[in-house]
Structure formats: C-alpha cells, structure tokens
Amino acid sequence: MITIKEVKSKADYKAFVKFPFKIYNDCKYWIPPIISQELEVFNTEKNPVFNDADATLLLAYKDGKIVGRVAAIINWLEVNKQGDKKMRFGWFDFIDDLEVSKALIEEVIKIGKNNNLEFVEGPVGFSNLDKVGVLTEGFDYPNDMITWYNYSYYQKHYEALGFITEKTYIESTFKFSNVNPEAFTKIQDLIKRRYKLKPLNFTKTKEIMPYVDKMFDLFNLTYSKLSSFVEITDIQKEYFKKKYINFINPEYIKFVVDQENNLVAFAIVMPRFTEALKEMNGKLFPFGFLKLLKAKKESKSVNFYLIGVHPDYQNKGVHGIIFNEYYPIFKEKGIEDCYRTPELENNEAIHKIWKNFDPKIIKKRSTYRKTL
C-alpha cells in the first residue's frame, strides 16, 4: 500500500531533498544538487517566488520507506495574468513502481482540480530559470547543476499514466576547436558600425551589478514569446542576483549596448561544475565550496546558459559580437568543450546561431501534459 504524506516539518523537507540520493547513489551519471540550495528553493521565507506561487511537496511511502516525491506547483502569475490554467509539477522522482508514480500524480491532479485548473504539465519548476523536462535520450551523459537526471523508466511511467508529450528540448555540445572565428569576426565588426553597438566586458562581479536589472528586463522581453514563459518579477530579480551572479566568472557575462547605453543583447556562460558537484555529494561545507571555487577557475568546459537579443535586433547578427568577445577568453583559459543547456527543439532561431559550430545533440528531454 502506498501512503502519500505532505511535507511539513524540517525533517520532511530534508527527506524530500535527499530522496534522489537514495535511488541514484550508484549512478555515475547523476550529479547531485547542493542540498542547502535545494532546501532554500522551497523556503517560503527566502524564495520570493512564493509571493506569486504555491507549492505542495509530497512524499510517497511504502512499507515505511520513502519511495517517491513530487512538488505540485501553481504559479498564479501564469494562471491569473496569462490565463494559462496550468497545474505544474516538478522534482518528480520515484522507484520503478507504477503504483508509486500513480499515487503521487493523482495527488497533483487533485490539487489542480480543486483550484479549477485545466491541465497538468511537468516536470517543470516555478519559472523558466528552473530545471525542466524528463530525460528521454542521453542517459549515459551526466547532468549538471541546471538540469535533472533520471533513469529511462521514468518515460514509461508518464506514458502509462496517460500523459502526452507537450514540449521537447535538446541539449548539445561542440568542441571549442570547432569554432572558426572567421564565422563571426568580420560580420560582428560590420554589425557594430551599422547599428552603433558596442560590447561590455567585465573583470569584477561588482561591475556587472548595475546592469543586472536591465538584463532581466531584456530576458522577460526576449523570452516572452516562448510557450513556457513566466515573467521574472522585480523581487525575484534581487533574489537571483544574490543567488547566481557570484557563481559566474565575471568575464563570462557579456552585454551589448547601443550608443545610448541601452542593453540590446546579453549572454551568460557558466563554468561546468559537474565533476566538482559529484565530489561534493550535495555538501557545500566544509570543503565543497572550495571545490566549486576551483572549478570556477580551472574548468575546461563551459555551459552556455542564456542568450537574449532585443526583438529589434534579432536576425541581424548581434550574436556575432557576443561570440567575438568570448573567443579570446575561452582560448586563453584553454576551454575544450562547450555545452548548450536545454533549448526547445522547435526554436529554430536559437539553433541557427550555433549551426557554424557543428554541434552534436547528446540529450533530449520532454515535458508531459494531461488534461484535468
């Protein structure tokens, strides 16, 4: 018999966050999250997303042991402002037992119906800056700090529970040695002169901060056309500033501005922390933090996390300016491998940006939908 329990106590929250450590303990491709950061995600007093969202965390028990978990999420900005009556769910992990996954999803569906929502979709987080999708291809590649990993049986459970594929994402990689600077050096110079644009480069985190709000504004504008988009609020901007900016090498953040210093494009690249996170096994202290710092300085792999271009400048080659600024930095640091985080498979505009780098698709993931 499966028993479902709502997370209430501190012990429950820790059990919820640490459950994947049990089922993936022997999986060399699973990269554990940082436990303290995962706990903060669900802290209603620290995470400002709860100003506009609700989350019910559920644990499944069988024979007295935890065998599954799920977060049932309602983003009220999405429901009330955008009119998208979606019941979200994420952090969905379970043993290979259909009774377990079914019991958890039935609770999610019940919450959705009680709130007059029309469909359920997952796995997703609270917003576009959270992890997304269940892995459907590429199980022999490790995840990183901004994606989920799962076993292949997960997909079978979704299908058995009557879900259909809603969105498909791809992840790809390319060798830095594949990058031919001639593909963007000439065009970027022409674009800068034609539109009177200039790049901004940084060496210190404090130099970036005056531009971060503008970056999030541009993020909201450029990503608003995506079907999964939910606006990042002002209070969330402050939260993400403190949480993420210090993780990123300042020279890995690039901005492009016009002659009036208006932001027209941005890009964020992150060091790939995969090996460090595996060694840390979820613990930031006492030595995990040092491993992250070392990886930040020495990693020979990078993740292209976000690229945004103002609609007025899209399809005009502005990304060439960005790549031109990254190239000498990557060369100096000896970067070997570049990874792209999940991108919608049907987002042709973003795929065209990378075509000259001969990318190789290594993973696919999907979100699944079911009508309530």
Which residue did the predictor score with more confidence, 187 or 226? 187
Q: How many CB atoms lie within 10 A of CB 256?
A: 25
Average pLDDT for 266-277: 93
For residue 254, give Cα distances in angstroms to 31, 58, 109, 154.
28, 40, 42, 37
* 3-state SS, residue 54: strand
Which residue did the predictor score with more confidence, 336 or 216? 336
Does residue 241 surpass a pLDDT of 80?
no
Average pLDDT for 6-24: 97
Does residue 327 surpass a pLDDT of 80?
yes
From CA 175, how far away is CA 228, in angstroms rounded? 30
Does residue 242 surpass a pLDDT of 80?
no
Q: What is the pLDDT of residue 271?
A: 93
pLDDT tens for 257-268 read 999 999 999 999
Which residue did the predictor score with more confidence, 218 or 244? 218
pLDDT tens for 342-354 read 998 988 777 888 8
Determine the Cα angle at 129 with ends 126 and 131, to 5°: 75
DSSP assignment letter at 364: E
Residue pair 221/164 in contact by the 8 Å Cβ criterion: no
Q: What is the pLDDT of residue 209?
A: 87
Average pLDDT for 348-368: 88
DSSP H helical ranges for 80-171: 98-114, 153-160
Residue labelled with tokens 């993740």 = 303
Does residue 255 surpass a pLDDT of 80?
yes
Average pLDDT for 174-200: 91
* 3-state SS, residue 63: coil
User: CA nearest 335: which of 305, 360, 301?
Assistant: 301
Residue ranges, CATH 3.40.630.30, the chain: 2-171, 175-361
Residue pair 337/175 in contact by the 8 Å Cβ criterion: yes
Total-model pTM: 0.92
**Both ends of the chain: CA-CA distance in Å?**
25
From CA 200, how far away is CA 110, in angstroms rounded? 49
User: CA nearest 250: which of 213, 292, 297?
Assistant: 297
Element containing residue 251 per DSSP (H, E):
none
From CA 274, how far away is CA 29, in angstroms rounded? 10
Does residue 182 surpass a pLDDT of 90?
no
Fill in the amino acid letter for 65.
K
**Phi, psi at 130, each rounded to 5°:** -95, 170
Fill in the amino acid letter for 369.
R
For residue 279, give Cα distances in angstroms to 254, 283, 348.
30, 9, 37
| Domain formed by 2-171, architecture | 3-Layer(aba) Sandwich (3.40)
Q: What is the pLDDT of residue 228?
A: 65
171: left (phi over 0), alpha (psi -120 to 50) or beta: beta
Average pLDDT for 72-81: 94
Average pLDDT for 33-58: 94
Q: What is the pLDDT of residue 155?
A: 97
Q: What is the pLDDT of residue 227?
A: 63
Mean pLDDT score across all residues of the chain: 92
From CA 189, how far away is CA 48, in angstroms rounded? 41
Query: CATH number of the domain at 175-361, out of 3.30.420.10, 1.25.40.10, 3.80.10.10, 3.40.630.30?
Result: 3.40.630.30
Band (236; pLDDT cuts 50, 70, 90): confident
